[in-house]
Amino acid sequence: MNLYQFELFCQIAKVRSFTKAAKLMHLTQPAISSQVQVMENFYGTKLFERSATGVKLTPAGELVYKYAQHFLAEHEKLERELDNLMGTNAQTIVIGASSTIGNFALPCNVWSFKEKYPEANIRIEVENSKKIIELVLEDKVDFGLAEGPEFSHPDLEVKKVGESQVVIITSPNHELSSSNSITIEELKKLPLILREPGSSVREVFIEATKKAGIPAKDLNIVLELGSFQGVLEAVKKGHGISFSCIEAVKKEYHRQELHYLTLKDMELSMPFLLIYRKDRTFSPLAKRFLRFIIGPAALEFC
Amino acid sequence: MNLYQFELFCQIAKVRSFTKAAKLMHLTQPAISSQVQVMENFYGTKLFERSATGVKLTPAGELVYKYAQHFLAEHEKLERELDNLMGTNAQTIVIGASSTIGNFALPCNVWSFKEKYPEANIRIEVENSKKIIELVLEDKVDFGLAEGPEFSHPDLEVKKVGESQVVIITSPNHELSSSNSITIEELKKLPLILREPGSSVREVFIEATKKAGIPAKDLNIVLELGSFQGVLEAVKKGHGISFSCIEAVKKEYHRQELHYLTLKDMELSMPFLLIYRKDRTFSPLAKRFLRFIIGPAALEFC
DNA sequence: TAAACTTACGTTGTGCGTAAAAATC
DNA sequence: GATTTTTACGCACAACGTAAGTTTA
């Protein structure tokens, strides 16, 4: 039996559903089923009553739940005491993050991390993906979190820690605002506002056009801006259309300040990558943060 | 982090040595090293100070030790409470065991199991290995523990859970009592006292002679006895030589009632097998006992 | 029939053993 | 030089994802 299983168990007990717990823990539903079966087999008794509306704890399950919560709480206490002993909590982590992650995903993760480690000192440097890789290589940050595409480098460890859908964004007054998807051929005539080269959202789009057989020079790029906020403003004013991670424009979409649509024949998606030097030795606090990012509480938008 | 790792950790802390802990937990020493490294990496700090004389806990290690003991104790409490809830503790386990295991290894295991589950009702049926397999197939026992050799059967799960060295036993007054080993060629002329066919010690020996190219009829078998105790008595009196698991005659050897020697060109060893029907469903208590037998507190002589 | 859980199966990563090396008394 | 821990590597099993199946409201 391991603490991770107790964590899964508590999550399931809390939300009373394998499916919901799976989503929260970033697993598939069968994975949850399987782990529960392992636990039930271990303790030799059913722990959940299953039904088509969800699950509920059996009496034995209630007992396991009580202890599981206790174990998790005590283990956090152990980690805190270790921190005190080693002075870990006063350490500093420097993270290099590309703009979508740094502005939209990381802050809430940092926030919940800070709840566990209030004394931790975390600095986030926001740059575009290419610059992040440089910062990592130059050892100027503990690790980098950048948007994809995935790559490999002899000195770097690169791990996918999340993903986001990339959508086309337009002004709500734009001619496209009544449709939900367009073809890439239609797209290429429209005035484009893009981030600077080195930005991942831009790279993902350029890759897609290449795949569709459209050379970069055929694109109608009317403006290149070094900041995401700038692109957003330009699009809102109707100067052209652009691209963004869907999560980064959810707020604007709900406020009806922006419209978004998808490509007809293609899924634009952007992996989030954790990047660090293979030879890097991490401080205990940095390791905790990595566990935090990679683990069940993975990189997520607020 | 999992409870097994905490168990390893506590064992290491207790005996202050990776090597000793490895033996106690029936692992190799590198496996222990590796697990400790995993834990040290997880908590981000050294937990043991290594030296050529053994290891000792660092302050961080002491802290982990304290919590690890706590976790293990609490988890046992959880299992006990589950037992009470389900009435598991009043259940009965029926084990079929072959004579060496049933008489020499199992009793002490049952004894320590009973310490954890005082209400458990355990019945051991002692028969020779062949009969044990029949009992399992006929579903007359929950599971069987028999001496090897290993085999496979479509309806049976067969797992090796231990091993013992087989030695030649003689009276202390025997002409061989001054030597520590003989060849199989010398052996075949000597008067042999064997257990009945179906006994594993006998099978192991017959297998060995076959391998050495000696047909069974060339052997000088002077007596066949249906009980281990009978064989022992006959050997003590000097009627012939026989075979036994080394652990089963340790007591007699130290009392100088028996002498034992090994074969020159061959290692006679006998696996201990756990055998159960593939379709068998175990009671919670039986599962506990199986965990107990298979796990770190594996089948061992008293 | 739609939503929930289970089963089956292929892939990947972790844990272990064997063998050889390095370190310390 | 003997004892103890570490490193390297191959294998086996366990955990997960995908896809198809079963149950129930």
What string of H, E and C letters represents the secondary structure of B123-164?
A: EEEECCHHHHHHHHHCCCCCEEEEECCCCCECCEEEEEEEEE
Q: Do B64 and A75 touch (CB under 8 A)?
A: no
Range of the domain at B285: 89-162+271-294
pLDDT for res A296: 63
Mean pLDDT, range A214-243, rounded to an integer: 91
Residue B273, phi then psi, degrees to nearest 5: -115, 135
Q: For residues A280 and A266, state if they share a domain.
A: no
The CA distance from B59 to the nearest CA of chain A, in Å, is 8
Q: For residues A171 and A252, state if they share a domain.
A: yes
Measure the CA–CA gap between A91 and A188, rounded to whole angstroms: 49
For residue B86, is pLDDT > 80?
A: yes
> Confidence class of residue B157 from pLDDT cuts 50, 70 and 90?
confident
Q: For residues B155 and B97, state if they share a domain.
A: yes
Percent of chain A residues past pLDDT 70, beyond the cut: 96
Local structure of residue A134 (DSSP, 8 states): H
Residue A258 is assigned to a structural domain of this protein: yes
> Confidence class of residue B299 from pLDDT cuts 50, 70 and 90?
low
User: How many domains is chain B partitioned into structurally?
Assistant: 3
Q: Give the side-chain half-sphere CA count within 13 A for B31.
A: 12
> Confidence class of residue B87 from pLDDT cuts 50, 70 and 90?
confident
A18 Cβ nearer than 7 Å to chain C strand: yes
Q: A126-157 b/e with 16+ CB inside 10 Å = b?
A: bbbbbbbbebbeeeebbbbbbbbeeeeeeebe
Q: For residues A239 and A194, state if they share a domain.
A: yes
- For residue range B14-29, what is the model confidence (pLDDT) as tens digits? 999 999 999 989 899 9
Q: For residues A191 and A63, state if they share a domain.
A: no
B216 Cβ nearer than 7 Å to chain C strand: no
**The whole model's pTM is what?**
0.82
SS3 content of chain A, % helix, strand, coil (to 5): 50, 25, 30
Residue A101 is assigned to a structural domain of this protein: yes
pLDDT for res B155: 82
Q: For residues A283 and A157, state if they share a domain.
A: yes
Mean pLDDT, range B80-93, rounded to an integer: 84
Residue A169 is assigned to a structural domain of this protein: yes
**CA distance between the termini of chain A:** 32
pLDDT for res B161: 81
| Strand D positions within 7 A of protein Cβ atoms | 2-8, 15-20, 23-25
Mean pLDDT, range B227-236, rounded to an integer: 92
Measure the CA–CA gap between B86 and B76, rounded to whole angstroms: 15
Q: For residues A121 and A30, state if they share a domain.
A: no
DSSP codes of every residue in A111-129: HHHHHH-TT-EEEEEE--H
Sequence-distant (≥ 6) Cβ neighbours of residue A217 within 8 angstroms: none
Percent of chain B residues past pLDDT 70, beyond the cut: 97
Q: For residues B55 and B174, state if they share a domain.
A: no
Q: How far is the CA of B92 from the C1' of C14 (A)?
A: 36
A40 Cβ nearer than 7 Å to chain C strand: no
Q: For residues A76 and A121, state if they share a domain.
A: no
pLDDT for res B83: 87
Sequence-distant (≥ 6) Cβ neighbours of residue B213 within 8 angstroms: none
CATH number at residue B190: 3.40.190.10
For residue A162, is pLDDT > 70?
A: yes
pLDDT for res A302: 63
Residue A299 is assigned to a structural domain of this protein: no
Locate B232 and state its tokens. Answer: 């022992």
**In terms of pLDDT, which residue wins out, B189 or A32?**
A32
Q: How far is the CA of B249 from the C1' of C16 (A)?
A: 32
The CA distance from B168 to the nearest CA of chain A, in Å, is 42
Mean pLDDT, range B176-200, rounded to an integer: 88
Q: For residues B210, B212, B217 and B222, what is the CA-based torsion angle, rounded to 10 degrees? A: -100
Sign of CA dihedral B145, B149, B154, B160: positive
Residue B22, phi then psi, degrees to nearest 5: -60, -45
For residue A61, is pLDDT > 90?
A: yes
Could you tell me if residue B174 is left (phi over 0), alpha (psi between -120 and 50 degrees) or otherwise beta?
Answer: beta
Residue B81 is assigned to a structural domain of this protein: yes
Measure the CA–CA gap between A76 and A71, rounded to whole angstroms: 9
Measure the CA–CA gap between B288 and B284, rounded to whole angstroms: 6
DSSP codes of every residue in B153-217: BTTEEEEEEEEEEEEEEE-TTSGGGG-SEE-HHHHHHS-EEEEPTT-HHHHHHHHHHHHTT--GG
Residue A191 is assigned to a structural domain of this protein: yes
- For residue range B108-155, what is the model confidence (pLDDT) as tens digits? 788 888 888 888 889 999 998 889 999 999 999 999 999 877 787 878
CATH number at residue B38: 1.10.10.10
Mean pLDDT, range A110-124, rounded to an integer: 85
State the count of interchain CB pairs (< 8 A) between A and B.
81
Name which of A224-233, B72-81, B110-119, B224-233 the model is least confident about. B110-119
Residue A301 is assigned to a structural domain of this protein: no
Taking CA atoms, B54 is separated from A158, A238, B49, B245, in Å, by 38, 73, 9, 32
Chain A residues in contact with B59 (beta carbon < 8 A) = 85
SS3 content of chain B, % helix, strand, coil (to 5): 50, 25, 25
Q: For residues A7 and A137, state if they share a domain.
A: no
For residue B301, is pLDDT > 70?
A: no
Measure the CA–CA gap between A150 and A140, rounded to whole angstroms: 21
Local structure of residue B258 (DSSP, 8 states): -
Residue A34 is assigned to a structural domain of this protein: yes
A15 Cβ nearer than 7 Å to chain C strand: no
Q: For residues B139 and B282, state if they share a domain.
A: yes
What number of H helices and E strands is found in chain A? 12, 12
pLDDT for res A297: 58
pLDDT for res A99: 86
For residue A69, is pLDDT > 80?
A: yes
The CA distance from B135 to the nearest CA of chain A, in Å, is 24
Q: For residues B76 and B118, state if they share a domain.
A: no
pLDDT for res A215: 86
pLDDT for res A242: 95
Contact indicator for B18, B12 with CB cutoff of 8 Å:
yes
Interface with chain B: mutation pick from A77, A80, A82, highest number of B CBs within 10 Å: A82
